[in-house]
Chains A and B, each alone.
Chain A
Amino acid sequence: MGKIRVLIAKPGLDGHDRGALVIAQALRDHGMEVIYTGLRQSPVQIVQAAIQEDVDVIGLSSLSGAHKTLFPKVINVLKEQGASDIPVVGGGVIPAEDIPYLLERGVQKIFTSGSSTEALALYIKQLVNPEKEQLKSPEKIAHIGIAVQQIDHVISFYTDTLGLELEGVETVESEGVKTAFLKIGESRLELLEPLDNDSPIQRFLDKKGEGIHHIALETEQLDERLQNMTSEGIPLINEEPKQGAHNSQVAFIHPKAAGGVLFELCRHTEGSEH
């Protein structure tokens, strides 16, 4: 496959092209062929240029507030010309509340003020070569972690009342935690008890009390996914996988990336049970 070809376009009358020019240069540095239309392009002109130049993706930039009129118009003209296979991404000064409107009308993604050119380049690569770069979704929920003061106090609820099978209790000194795994279908519940006051679980209990602590997702592509998230600027607690319980590799994502939920990504190596 040859170089990715990108059309960067300024629809409408807006003359602010600093962002468009910086992005054009950044994408070139990422090995793409970039065609910049210049200012004041009508939707029809943009689509004509995209078809003529046989581009893989169109990037629209607008800072004048006309995005709600002009971006959907480009999508419509693409449809009329039978070229709706060319994906459109947008950027500029675009209020967050306008983004759903634009996505509904067929814009793939909006990059607003403060987005990094790295993230954009990566996004375009994945958009254009999905089979090569696209990551698979995580396969399943590996387990749900529940912070408790003492496992002994609650374990009977899980084993007797619910009748779940206790797979084992394990102490992980390095994490300051004692864990109990209970099998449920293809997933597990993991009870977490702090070993001492410095344990992260103790801090969680102090702050929030007992309750759901984290959700662990099983993913084969743990390293790729971490790499990907690092370059997209997703905040991670562990940028590299570390050894987890039961022969697994694990890494935690910062809850601020996920609406306040702590996610663990884990990959179990051959021979391990889960």
Chain B
Amino acid sequence: MSDHTFQSNKENWEKSVNKTLERFPERKESFTTSSDLEVERLYYPSEDETYEEKLGYPGEYPYTRGIQPTMYRSRLWTMRQYAGFGSAKETNERFRYLLDQGQTGLSVAFDLPTQIGYDSDDVMAEGEVGKVGVAIDSLHDMEQLLDQIPLDKVSTSMTINAPASVLLCMYLAVGEKQGVPLEKMTGTIQNDILKEYIARGTYIYPPKPSMRLITNIFEFCQQYVPKFNTISISGYHIREAGSTAVQEVAFTLANGMAYVDAALDAGLDIDTFAPRLAFFFNAHNNFLEEVAKFRAARRIWAKTMKNHYQAKNPKSWKLRFHTQTGGSTLTAQQPDNNVVRVTMQALAAVFGGTQSLHTNSRDEALSLPTEESARIALRTQQIIANESGVADTADPLGGSYYVESLTDQIEEEVNKYLDQINEIGGAVKAVEEGYMQREIQRTAYETQKKIENEEEIIVGLNQYKLDEEVNPDLLKVDEALEAAQIDLLEKARNERDQHEVDNALARLREQAKDRGANLIPHILHAVKVYASVGEICNVLRDEFGEYTGM
């Protein structure tokens, strides 16, 4: 590369910085350290053969150094704590508390019956209602959940997969009632079914019809809800199930490519849906490996989208991602130590250039977090953002010999897995054959053995143990909630126009049989007449069948 192009690329970056500053001025006039040393926007080599090819400038291809030209100097990442338990009313109170405390986005945890498309009164739901998240049966519950939360200002992320279409429609219906036009609604649905088969377990239908629902959502949103992130392709749960950092990135990107392929097969144009794809990664304890992992993931995705899929719009090349700190790294022993782990993991995510972040609460190995624990978790992010100074320059670790070498190595190892999955016939096929599941289980078992023979030290667990553990106060979900939720559902069923519901469900069933039809408008209609999550999903269960595992 000649000095000349190096200079002109740098000028390009500077131009895009100026454009960015018009829309997102930096948080301060100037950034300085405690010794009053000026902090530059970016540090980079004066001249380097491989710099632009491998790293480039922030906001420029291949985005190794981040997707925005000024990164957190303009806007901090979105602090988005995943929350939800019990009834819609209780969760609404927690949401409003978190927003009051300075949280900038919502993230909804649903209970397992909702995530698997069962109403609270289904026999399969027994004992699970409201336990790991909020129970949503009908639009009534969703209205209660979002009560007094302005959906034109707050973006909401919903951890919902198999019934993502139903919950998305409920969310849109509430927005409509608040008077927010569809094109202004922002948020994210997880909608990533492949990792459910691999690692998380809340699947309903077999892969083919599930992929259809996903592409239906892509198509619908591209047309009517263009600001909504239609999928959050998740490595988080793959990592929690026991994978390595390399496997996390490899399997996630492989799944991402499968969704792109499915959408292309359905006739969508790459540059219409690819900019709305979002990702979701984990942050574990090996600090610099995690930083390198995020940077490598961004570079691989950019290259794949640009070269393999020939996407033209730079927005299609950018891997935008949410990060959550690693739940499985937390210990039930000496739970306050988890605050330290979470801090380290959150820092790795920030050094890795995350767009939004959830920090786990210290008591999550014991139960759902208490309000106090959830607040400390949020404060952890706020301290990193406001006190550490790491957000004052873009990609501060870029150029570290170790980090760059790790970034290269991770890219190389990920590519080996991607080749392997390609040989099997793509991610859907690999999932069906159990390939990724086996790889993850092997790693999980090896990790357990290493911990038991103390090859891996976990502070407080296999070393530095305490004689007596103090039992912290834990959050309890009221056992009476299940019955109360079932009463609410019954009430909703009595108040609605049953004839309208029957018609809406019959129409949905008819359209489900037609493989070319987009089901979203029909689901939206059913939701608006107060058909329940279970009723809608049961229609699709009848038509699509159920996935039963390996």
Contact = CB atoms under 8 A, between A and B. Distances in A.
Interface of A: 12-18, 21-22, 25-26, 38-40, 42, 64-66, 68-70, 73, 93, 95-97, 112-114, 116-118, 256
A158 to B, nearest CB: 32
B127 A66 contact: yes
A15 B241 CA distance: 10
Contact of A118 (B196, B331, B368, B452): B452
A66 B131 contact: yes
A22 B445 contact: yes
B471 interface: yes
B132 A65 contact: yes
Nearest to B200: A15
Given A65-B367, A66-B128, A112-B332, A13 B116 contact: yes
Contacts of A16: 201, 240
Interface residues of B, number: 43
B127 A68 contact: yes
Contact of A13 (B128, B332, B368, B441): B128
B376 interface: no
Contact of A113 (B331, B448, B452, B471): B331
Contacts of B467: 256
Contacts of B340: none
B115 to A, nearest CB: 8
Interface string B437-469: 000010011001000100000000100000110
Contacts of B367: 65, 93, 95
A18 B201 contact: no
Contact of A256 (B128, B132, B241, B468): B468
B444 A12 contact: no
A15 B242 contact: no
A118 B128 CA distance: 31
- Mostly, the A contact residues are loop
Report the 3 A-B pairs with minimum CB-CB distance, sorted nearest first. Answer: A15-B201, A69-B127, A256-B467
Contacts of A40: 116, 124, 201
Contacts of B328: 18
5 contacts: A15-B201, A16-B240, A18-B240, A26-B445, A116-B452
A22 B444 contact: yes
Nearest to B368: A65
Given A15-B200, A15-B201, A95 B366 contact: yes
Interface in B92-137: 112-113, 115-116, 118, 123-128, 131-132
Contacts of B123: 42
A113 B441 contact: no
B477 interface: yes
A117 B448 contact: yes
B324 interface: no
A114 B332 contact: yes
- Mostly, the B contact residues are loop
B333 interface: yes
B180 interface: no
B474 interface: yes
B196 A15 contact: yes
B111 to A, nearest CB: 9
Contacts of B267: none
B550 interface: yes
Contact of B201 (A14, A68, A116, A256): A14
A16 B327 CA distance: 12
A64 B131 contact: yes
Nearest to A11: B127
B397 interface: no
A114 B127 contact: no
A13 B126 CA distance: 9
A247 B283 CA distance: 58
Contacts of A26: 445, 448
Contacts of A39: 201, 549
Contacts of B407: none
Given A13-B113, A15-B202, A113 B124 contact: no
B365 interface: yes
Nearest to A43: B126
A17 B127 contact: no
A118 B467 CA distance: 21
A69 B240 CA distance: 26
Contacts of B116: 13, 40
A18 B241 contact: yes
A114 B128 contact: no
A42 B124 contact: yes
Interface in B218-268: 240-242
B550 A38 contact: yes
B462 to A, nearest CB: 9
Contacts of B444: 18, 21-22
A95 B127 contact: no
B131 A65 contact: yes
Contacts of B241: 17-18
Contacts of B452: 116-118
B366 A114 contact: no
B201 A17 contact: yes
A17 B196 CA distance: 12
A14 B201 CA distance: 7
Contacts of B471: 96-97
Contacts of A116: 452
Contacts of B365: 93, 113
A13 B204 CA distance: 11
Contacts of B131: 64-66
A218 to B, nearest CB: 26
A185 B127 CA distance: 55
B445 A114 contact: no
Interface string B347-367: 000000000000000000111
B128 A12 contact: yes
A96 B241 CA distance: 24
A269 to B, nearest CB: 33
